[in-house]
Amino acid sequence: MDIPDHTFSEHRAHWASLRRDLHAHPELRFEEHRTADVVAGELQALGYEVVRGLGGTGVVASLPGTDPARAGIVLRADLDALPIKEANDFAHASCTHGVMHACGHDGHTVMLLGAARVLKQMPRLPGSVHFVFQPGEEGGAGARKMIDDGLFTQFPTEAVFGMHNWPGLPAGHFGLRTGPIMAAGSRLKITITGRGAHAAQPHLGIDPIPLACSMVLQCQTIAARHKDPVDPAVISVCMFHAGDTDNVIPDRAELRGTIRTLSSTLQQKLQRDIQQMCEALAGAYGAQVEVEYFQYYPATINTPAETAFCEDVIRATFGDARIRNDIPANMTSEDFGFMLEERPGTYVLIGNAPQDRASPSLHHPQYDFNDDVTEEGVRYWVALARRYFERA
């Protein structure tokens, strides 16, 4: 059954207004209380029964299928914003100082709400469609928390699907690939403890600063020499803190950074290598070291059958010219990888770049979601749900 264009177009103004309202009122991970209220209110107005509280501030609504014995599919959007001071001056700029929707989660939320609206108006499908609005994607592993709170137990699921806007693609175009599309990632903290001394008497102390500098350099050697050259990995030390004045050797230094790989196995290997390197260097200097890893995200790995299916959906809905099925894997991380560890599925990118101007990158203080792609995102979600259950 073809869907008339007016089914989508008549809601454009509402979707744009809703998206800009969310953009103006961003909330950080696990603080998305107003955002969850807005989402729940929209869903309830459409006649959905809403479940709240999974993962803390998550919202889930389900469109039941005609076959109660069949598991459903999850369509997922994320709710949270970033701790970034917005540099835009348009009317819907952030009202909360130091917080903004710099990654387009406001747009993701509205696209999924749009799909919930359109699918509600159509004949019931054989299986259920679960609309999952997830908190805490930005460093909080909200997907993992929703799973641990019983997401797939309460909403039986046979496949999961996610979508993220992408300024590097033309608006309304789609990118996908089989296998890893986003990297595994973990945060790194190295704490070095030496012995403080007067700057003019370094022999009386154990200076942690040159030791920390050696560790930074050796991290790059690990990335370049401890793995297969064709297996991508990035180790970035992004923070170095030691001391408080210019004539005292401090007793402590702290490094922080991140490790990104396209496989969880390599991620674990590099963690072990960094641990061993730090302990060996600290021993040679006579210092102590503690290495901690936190905020781990697995690689986002698209399964072959579901990726081929999503490619067919995009080609049938938008035409061959609107798809790139060989999009390069990106070294950013995404906690949808936790869902893909539990169920087969696919994560796609939807182009966000406007035609008339340059598009700031994700996490840039001048970023804004392109409202022109909302309808395209809704069309994709609706077509995916219908075609998934129409297959033999």
d(CA 54, CA 142): 9
d(CA 126, CA 133): 22
Q: What is the pLDDT of residues 274-328, one digit of tens each?
A: 999 999 999 999 999 999 999 999 999 999 999 999 999 999 999 999 999 999 9
Are residues 309 and 279 located together in one domain of the fold? no
CA 176 to each of CA 38, 329, 346: distance values in angstroms, whole numbers, following the listed order:
30, 9, 8
d(CA 46, CA 61): 11
Residues 6+ apart with CB under 8 A from 53: 149
- Assign residue 219 the CATH number of its domain: 3.30.70.360
Are residues 50 and 77 located together in one domain of the fold? yes
The pLDDT of residue 355: 75
> How many folded domains does the chain comprise?
2
Task: Tell me which of 27, 32, 42, 80 is the catalytic residue.
Answer: 80
Q: What is the pLDDT of residues 319-335, one digit of tens each?
A: 999 999 999 999 999 99
d(CA 302, CA 306): 7
- Assign residue 322 the CATH number of its domain: 3.40.630.10
Please give the distance of CA 138 from its chain centroid, rounded to a whole number.
6
pTM of the full structure: 0.94
Q: Is residue 123 part of a domain?
A: yes
Are residues 16 and 131 located together in one domain of the fold? yes
The pLDDT of residue 389: 94
Residues 6+ apart with CB under 8 A from 296: 141, 184, 185, 186, 267
- Residue-number span of the structural domain to which 142 is assigned: 6-182+299-390
Task: Tell me which of 27, 31, 78, 137 is the catalytic residue.
Answer: 137
**Among 262, 297, 332, residue at a domain's last position:** 297
Q: What is the pLDDT of residues 122-131, one digit of tens each?
A: 999 999 999 9
Tell me: pLDDT of 387 over 60: yes
Are residues 284 and 354 located together in one domain of the fold? no
Known catalytic residue at 137: yes
**Among 251, 271, 297, residue at a domain's last position:** 297
Known catalytic residue at 80: yes
**Among 241, 265, 297, residue at a domain's last position:** 297
Average pLDDT over residues 269-274: 97
The pLDDT of residue 2: 72
Where in 64-156 does DSSP place strands (E)?
Answer: 72-78, 129-134
